[in-house]
Amino acid sequence: MNVMGMALRASALAGGIAASVAMFFAQAIVGRPALFVSANAMSWPDRWYVLCAMTAAVHLAWAVGAIWMWRHGSEGVRQWNGLSHRLAPALLLGPLPALLEPWSWNPLPAAAALSLFVLLAERTFRSCLDAGGMGRGADPGPSPDRENDLSPLKTLRMIATHWVGGRMIGRIRRIGPPVIVVAGVVGYAIYMSVFTVWAHRRFGTYGYDLGQYNAIFWSTLHGKPLRCSPLNLVSNWSEISNHAELAVFALLPIYAIRPGAETLLIVQSTIIALGAIPIYRFAARRLRRGVAVVLALAYLGYPPLHGANFYDFHFQPIAATFVLATIDFLDERRDRLAVPTFLIALACREDISVGLAVLGAFLALSGSRPVAGLVVASVASAYFVAMRFVIMPAFGTGWFADIYKDLAPDGQPGFFGVIATLITNPAYVLNTLLTADKLKYSLQILLPVAFLPLRRSYLVASVVPGAIFTLLTTRYAPTTAISFQYSGHFTPYIFPAAALALAAYRREPGGTLKGRAAFGALVLASVLATVHWGAIPPRSTIHGGFDDVPMRAPSADDRRYGRDLLDLDALVPEGASLAVSDHELPHISRMNLFSLRDGVFDADYILYDVTSSYLGGTNAEEALASGEFEQIASRPGLALLKRTDVSTGGASPP
């Protein structure tokens, strides 16, 4: 390499590092990075101070480098070049304070900035590792120099071995990683259960959807399977017209321990947490167990997982754990264990079968499990076709195909029309894909795994199931927001794909270095994404569903309101039908329960928040004004109405 060129490149890199470090410390002294990011608000003296600090740092670095290279000649140039590359990650310090101010960013610029930062960080990690001679090949084995290498890490290992004992150290290495993962699972389950139950007790949950699912479980438990009276689906099995969530029966024994919405929230948090275990097991068969632990913890810190967890109760994030378990068991060739997890995943929702069909095709085409893959793909595909196009329509007309309505041609609504558009007009489909919301959503989904699933062409299959149910939708905002449940179609595939991508680096020339840099980028991306959009550690609010959900315990007023609501509910006869406003609906468990948000229906009683407006209050006040209902009881903020002639108010639903 030309010495002069090397000297110039090393000086440029050293100057950039010096400027970045100076920018970091100068901003720390000046303060107020949030205003600087959001409004470019910094006084001119402070801005001049930052500029002077950066300029002085650059000139100091150049002077030191010039003196060193002048005194040591070409060897000094190589040393200066090596030192500059070893310090390359320090380039990240300057913009870091701004990136740690999540409330100062709009979602799309934040997602784009974080993505660029992580990709730049990976490049600096490579430079650092390459300059340090790490990852250039296989371990050369012991040598006199290596034996005498008293690096800090090796020194700590020697001290630990001396005081604790080699056998104990080996045992800790063996059981430590799984213990950390299990601790993370338990911690996540407790943490999310507490905060989601608190949100519920503060009346931050909705009839859409927690109240509906509680009604489905309650009705099924009491001998009326899969009916959803809040949606006026009062016939047995009628919920199948909306979604085929047969996994209700698998979770029903747990629900029966203490029936109610809070149990569903705890069950959801616990099952989601358990997904970290198959991720660890799958990754540990290919990577160092420490890397597998980090990948499992990255799953537990995954912001789309948190957003779904804080939005009531849904089966997509629950299904993700059973899909992950299926992947783990199939990979380990424990097919008998894979069968029940596969069947439960299918039963969670009819659309989960699409992802499982893609998984089966991947296993078959990759050659890793051709026979098992064909079986999985065939069963999942047959299940989807039978359920979506034969069984579900037999129970009624669902609305779910409407979220693709812009893809349906005139005269052919529904899934068949959507499929026809996908095949015959890809240009139009591409036009619907390239929107700001979908770009933001894609970055938020893939950034926390450092875009690893896109690093190998064959791993792109991992994003196909999620893309079908999110990116292809049109004019339905929840499917392209990480605060909703739909990201559950991505989660069980992109984390195993990330493990496969990291493992693939080990099989290519120079791959160890690239793999370590990619792993560093994964850690950085996971932390930054969690800081911006996650729920760990707790912050003032987390965006779940449509709202910013406060992460705090219910107040005394919340608890009083809850007691008053249950007192009024107790005045309603057990067999009577009751229409309830939306925030109050999930707190009541009874057979004939309707959503006042959609109307009064034939309800005998109405229980509502007097300030709930379009969430039920407006319909209740219209019913009261019509003379068909009279108020029979009230509490602060709540009112209970009874039909004036309840004996002729319409038969209770079956």
Q: Taking 90 as the threshold, does the pLDDT of residue 647 lie above it?
A: no
Q: Taking 80 as the threshold, does the pLDDT of residue 141 lie above it?
A: no
pLDDT at res. 407: 86
Give the domain ranges of the chain: 3-104, 173-549, 556-648
pLDDT digit string (tens) for 257-286?
A: 999 999 999 999 999 999 999 999 999 999
pLDDT higher for 513 or 36?
Answer: 513
Q: Taking 90 as the threshold, does the pLDDT of residue 545 lie above it?
A: yes
Task: Give the mean model confidence (pLDDT) for residues 338-351.
Answer: 97
pLDDT at res. 648: 40
300: which residues sit within 8 A by CB, 6+ positions away?
184, 185, 188, 273, 276, 536
State the Cα–Cα distance between residues 645 and 631, nearest whole angstrom. 13
Q: Could you tell me the pLDDT band of residue 201, with boundaries at 50, 70 and 90? A: very high
State the Cα–Cα distance between residues 630 and 641, nearest whole angstrom. 5
pLDDT at res. 162: 55
Q: What are phi and psi for residue 336, nearest 5 degrees?
A: -65, -35
Q: Taking 80 as the threshold, does the pLDDT of residue 160 lie above it?
A: no
Q: Taking 90 as the threshold, does the pLDDT of residue 321 lie above it?
A: yes
Residue entry with tokens 């029903």: 252
Tokens of 546: 């449509």
Tokens of 4: 């002069």
pLDDT at res. 420: 85
pLDDT digit string (tens) for 488-507?
A: 999 999 999 999 999 999 88
pLDDT at res. 540: 92
Whether 401 contacts 418, CB under 8 Å: yes
What's the mean per-residue pLDDT of the chain?
Answer: 90
Q: Taking 50 as the threshold, does the pLDDT of residue 401 lie above it?
A: yes
pLDDT digit string (tens) for 143-154?
A: 444 344 445 555
Q: Could you tell me the pLDDT band of residue 617, with boundaries at 50, 70 and 90? A: very high
pLDDT at res. 140: 39
Q: Taking 60 as the threshold, does the pLDDT of residue 215 lie above it?
A: yes
pLDDT digit string (tens) for 63-78?
A: 999 999 999 888 999 9
**Which residue in 100, 90, 104 sits closest to 22, CA to CA?**
90
Q: Taking 50 as the threshold, does the pLDDT of residue 643 lie above it?
A: yes
pLDDT at res. 165: 59
Angle, alpha carbons 33-537-549 (nearest 5°): 90
Tokens of 391: 């069984």
Whether 474 contacts 407, CB under 8 Å: yes
Nearest-10 crossing angle of helices 426-433, 415-424:
100
pLDDT at res. 93: 94
